[in-house]
Amino acid sequence: MLRWILRLRWVAAFGQLFAMLAAAFVFHLELPWIPMISGLMLTVFSNHLLQDCMDGSSGKCRPLINTLIFGDSLILTTMLYFSGGVHNPFTGFYLLLIALAAMTLSGRSLCVLLVLVAVEVLVLSIWHLPFSGPAGVVGGRTLTYPVFLAGWGVSLLLIAICIAFFVHRMNRQLREREKELAEAERQITEANRFQSLATLAAGVAHELGSPLGTIAIASKELERSLRRDGASAGWQEDARLIRSEVERCRQILDRLDRRSTRGTGESPQACTAASLCARLEKHLSSEMLERVKTDDRTQNFPLLLSTGAVLQSLVVLIENACEADPSGRPVTLDIRIHGQDEIVFRVLDQGPGIPDHLRRRIGEPFFTTKKDTSGMGLGIFLIQTLTAHLGGSCTLLPTVNGGTCATLTLPVKPKDSPE
């Protein structure tokens, strides 16, 4: 905003200089040069003040803008007084001044400026110095109609250009601000969803942990009693099934709690892609490790990442890739640096891929494409939430061979990290 105001005032200064030179050397009008040049110099000097304000503290800019706009009105009035008053075709520059004030001043200040401009125009219509020049240019101490019409056309053209560019700039800034607000609102919504899910997961794990523990102990005692009393093998198998299912429920709850809360609020740490891959081996089963083929092209590029969140995300993506292709074919982990400010992890499988009609729903909480009951539908949702919080992104796209490419993109330095 301030830069565009400064640009418009420089355009006004050069326009004033051009108009004075044209009046003196093209139309041979006799102008009082001292007050005209003084008004131009005041405009140039105030532009330098505004530039210094922009380079320094912004807290003083608002009152300075108010002062400059009212000062411009007085400068324009003074220059018009010495050059024909309301008969000067450049009187229309009051419109540009009012348009600029409407977008920068408060409602009360704008009303005061409108009253001031009305008074100035009334004064100029009564008191002003008439034009003095050749007979073909000045008639009856005013500009002849062709000269006035030409000047009025130039004045309208300059006013239209300045207002059009200024309004266009304002609209573009408003659209950018709306996009920023929409993105901020989306991030807040995602953060609230993530926090709600984490709270729910912790509560569920806490509330069901004790009953499941009791059931596990009771089923174990039941199995011992059946074995001691010589009950049939079927009853003993049922008791073992109860205990195994209880253990499975506890694992699901533990996984839900761990995935929902781990990696949040973690400080970024210095690392490399190789060190991440080394730590990744501790979180994957031996069967999965045998299938993963790592292609690290970062050449030990220094990274500053929230390693817990990154490892959690990679584990989920690799597990999904292995489960998507039960044939045991290799899963590729491709790691590259993009543009010196982003790291890209790509996990490629050779499975059947995600059906088109389900791809839009990937990332919704509690939605899963897995046929069995092992999936909770939270992995991709949590990854997308975590990466968005870190300033990155996670996408899933089909590959040429029919599989899926999961791409995790993260900034090398997380947002808000110290330089």
Q: Identify the domain boundary among 94, 117, 143.
A: 143
HEC string of 155-196 equals HHHHHHHHHHHHHHHHHHHHHHHHHHHHHHHHHHHHHHHHHH
User: Nearest 5°: CA angle at 79, between 76 and 85?
Assistant: 95
- What is the band of 145 on the pLDDT scale with cuts at 50, 70, 90? confident
Higher pLDDT, residue 311 or 382: 311
Among residues of the chain, what percentage have pLDDT more than 90? 8
Among residues of the chain, what percentage have pLDDT more than 70? 83
Instruction: Tell me the average pLDDT across 19-43.
Output: 83
Helix, coil or strand: residue 365: coil
Q: Identify the domain boundary among 143, 174, 192.
A: 143
- What is the band of 258 on the pLDDT scale with cuts at 50, 70, 90? low
**Any idea which of 174-183, 245-254, 293-302 has the lowest mean pLDDT?**
245-254
CB-based contact 113:76 (threshold 8 Å): no
Of the candidates 396, 416, 413, 418, the one whose C-alpha atom is nearest the C-alpha of residue 405 is 396
Asked if residue 154 belongs to a domain, the reply is no
Higher pLDDT, residue 146 or 381: 146
DSSP 8-state code for residue 394: E
Rounded to two decimals, what is the model's pTM? 0.48
Helix, coil or strand: residue 335: strand
- Domain containing 293 — which CATH number? 3.30.565.10
Instruction: Tell me the average pLDDT across 148-174.
Output: 83
Give me the pLDDT at residue 343, please. Answer: 92
Residue range 80-109, pLDDT digits in tens:
888 888 888 888 888 888 888 887 788 888
Distance CA 257, CA 197 (A): 9
Q: How far is CA 343 from CA 340, 380, 392, in A?
A: 8, 19, 9
- What is the band of 146 on the pLDDT scale with cuts at 50, 70, 90? confident
Of the candidates 19, 258, 297, the one whose C-alpha atom is nearest the C-alpha of residue 152 is 19
Instruction: Tell me the average pLDDT across 189-197.
Output: 67
Number of domain units in the chain = 2
Give me the pLDDT at residue 158, please. Answer: 81
Q: Identify the domain boundary among 143, 177, 209.
A: 143
**Any idea which of 113-127, 167-181, 378-392 has the lowest mean pLDDT?**
378-392
- 173 contact partners, CB below 8 Å, separation of at least 6: 1
Which residue matches tokens 């839009």? 360
- What is the band of 198 on the pLDDT scale with cuts at 50, 70, 90? low
Instruction: Tell me the average pLDDT across 282-302.
Output: 88
Question: Residue 17 is part of which domain span?
Answer: 2-143
Asked if residue 167 belongs to a domain, the reply is no
**pLDDT at residue 344 is higher than 90:** yes
Identify the helix (H) or strand (E) that includes residue 346.
strand 342-348
- What is the band of 190 on the pLDDT scale with cuts at 50, 70, 90? low
Asked if residue 180 belongs to a domain, the reply is no
**pLDDT at residue 220 is higher than 60:** yes
Asked if residue 297 belongs to a domain, the reply is yes
- Extract the tokens encoding 6: 């400064």
Asked if residue 280 belongs to a domain, the reply is yes
Give me the pLDDT at residue 408, please. Answer: 92
φ, ψ for residue 370, nearest 5 deg:
-75, 140
- What is the band of 418 on the pLDDT scale with cuts at 50, 70, 90? very low
**Any idea which of 111-125, 234-248, 391-405 has the lowest mean pLDDT?**
234-248
Instruction: Tell me the average pLDDT across 298-311.
Output: 86
Write out the DSSP string of 1-66: -HHHHHHHHHHHHHHHHHHHHHHHHTS-----HHHHHHHHHHHHHHHHHHHHHHHS-GGGHHHHHH
Helix, coil or strand: residue 401: coil
**pLDDT at residue 417 is higher than 60:** no
**pLDDT at residue 305 is higher than 80:** yes
- Extract the tokens encoding 8: 């418009």
Asked if residue 222 belongs to a domain, the reply is no
Of the candidates 383, 311, 322, 380, the one whose C-alpha atom is nearest the C-alpha of residue 349 is 322
The answer to whether residues 131 and 272 belong to one domain is no
Helix, coil or strand: residue 361: coil
Asked if residue 302 belongs to a domain, the reply is yes
Give me the pLDDT at residue 419, please. Answer: 45
Asked if residue 236 belongs to a domain, the reply is no
- What is the band of 374 on the pLDDT scale with cuts at 50, 70, 90? low
